[in-house]
Chains A and B, each alone.
Chain A
Amino acid sequence: MTKQFRILYKTVILLLAVLATMALGAIILLAIGAPVMKTYGVIVFAPLKNIGLISEVLIRTIPLTIIALGIAVAYRSGIINIGAEGQMAMGILATTAVALAIPNLPKPILLPLALVAGITGGALWGAIPGVLKAKLQVSELLSTVMLNYIAEQFYTFCLRKPMLDPAEMTTGSGTPQSMRLTKNIWLTRFIPGTRLHTGIFIAIAFAIIIYFMLWKTASGYKMRAAGASQRSARYGGINVAKYLVIAMLFSGGFAGLAGAVEICGVHHRAIQGITSGYGFSGIVVALFGGLHPAGIIPAAFFFGLLLVGGNMTQNAVGVPANMVQVLQGVIILVIVATQMVLSNAYLMEKVWRKTHKEATS
Chain B
Amino acid sequence: MNVVVTILSLAITSSVALLLASLGEMVNQRAGIFNLGCEGIMSMGAFLGMLIPYSVGHGGATPGVYNVLGLLAATAMGALLGLFFGLIVVTFRAPQGIAGIGLQMFGAGAAGTLFRHFVGGTQSVPGITTPAIPILSKIPFLGQVFFSQNVLVYIAYLLVPAIWYILFKTPWGLEVRSVGTHPRAADSIGINVTKIRYQSLAVGGALAGLAGAYLSLCQAKMFSDSIVSGRGFIAVALVYFGHWQPVKIMWGALLFSLAQTFQTIIQSKGINFPYEFAVMLPYVLVIVVLAFDRESQRLGPTALGIPFNREIRT
Do B98 and A336 touch (CB < 8 A)? yes
Given A161-B274, A333-B103: A136 and B291 interface contact (C-beta under 8 Å): yes
Quick one: which of B97, B106, B230 contacts A329, CB cutoff 8 A? B106
Residues from chain B with a CB closer than 8 A to the CB of A161 are 274
Closest residue of chain A to B109, judged by CB? A325
Interface size classification for chain A: 35 or more
Q: Which 3 A-B pairs have the closest CB atoms?
A: A325-B109, A329-B106, A332-B102
Determine how close the nearest CB of chain B comes to the CB of A252; give it in whole angstroms: 16
For B97-119 the 0/1 string (1 means CB < 8 A from A) is: 11111111111111011101110
Q: Are A280 and B105 in contact (CB under 8 A)?
A: yes
Question: Which segment, of A94-102, A138-146, A179-187, faces chain B?
Answer: A138-146
Which residues of the other chain, B, contact A138 by a CB distance below 8 angstroms?
287, 290-291
Whether the Cβ atoms of A153 and B279 lie closer than 8 Å is yes
A326-B110, A329-B106 given; 6 more Cβ-contact pairs under 8 Å:
A31-B114, A142-B233, A161-B274, A280-B105, A326-B106, A340-B92
A residues in contact with B40, CB < 8 Å: 329
Chain B CB within 8 A of A51 CB:
no
| A142 and B237 contact, CB distance less than 8 A | yes
CB <8 Å contact, B287 and A283: no
A-B contact pairs, 23 of them (CB 8 A): A24-B106, A32-B118, A145-B230, A146-B286, A147-B283, A150-B280, A153-B279, A157-B274, A283-B98, A319-B113, A320-B113, A320-B117, A324-B109, A325-B108, A325-B112, A329-B40, A336-B99, A337-B87, A337-B88, A337-B92, A337-B99, A339-B94, A340-B92
B182 near A: Cβ within 8 Å?
Answer: no
Known: A153-B277, A153-B280. A328 touches B290 (CB 8 A): no
Residues of A within 8 A of B125 (CB): none
Does A323 sit within 8 A of B, measured CB to CB? yes
Residues of chain A within 8 A of B259, CB atoms compared: none
Task: Give min CB distance, B275 to chain A, whole Å.
Answer: 9
A137 within 8 A of partner (CB): yes
Q: Determine if B276 and A82 form an interchain contact, defined as CB atoms under 8 angstroms apart.
A: no
Docked Cα-Cα span, A147 to B108, in Å, equals 20
Rounded to whole Å, the gap between the CB of A106 and the closest CB of chain B is 35
Most B C-beta atoms less than 10 A away, residue of A24, A138, A330 = A138
- B299 smallest CB distance to A (angstroms): 13
Complex: how many Å from CA A32 to CA B115?
10
- Which residues of chain A are near B100, meaning CB under 8 Å? 141
Nearest CB to that of B40 among chain A residues? A329
Task: State the Cβ distance, B42 to closest chain A Cβ, in Å.
Answer: 14
A246 at the interface (CB under 8 A from B): no
A146 vs B279: C-alpha distance in the bound complex, in angstroms? 12
Contacts of B109 in A (CB 8 A): 28, 322-329
Q: In the complex, A322→B114 CA distance in Å?
A: 9
Residues of A near B108 (CB, < 8 A) are 325, 329
Q: When the two chains form the complex, which single residue of A146, A147, A332 contacts B98, counting CB atoms closer than 8 Å?
A: A332
CB-contacts of B220-248 with A (<8 A): 225, 229-230, 233-234, 236-237, 240
B230 proximity list for chain A (CB < 8 A): 145-146, 149
Output the least CB separation between B91 and chain A (Å): 8
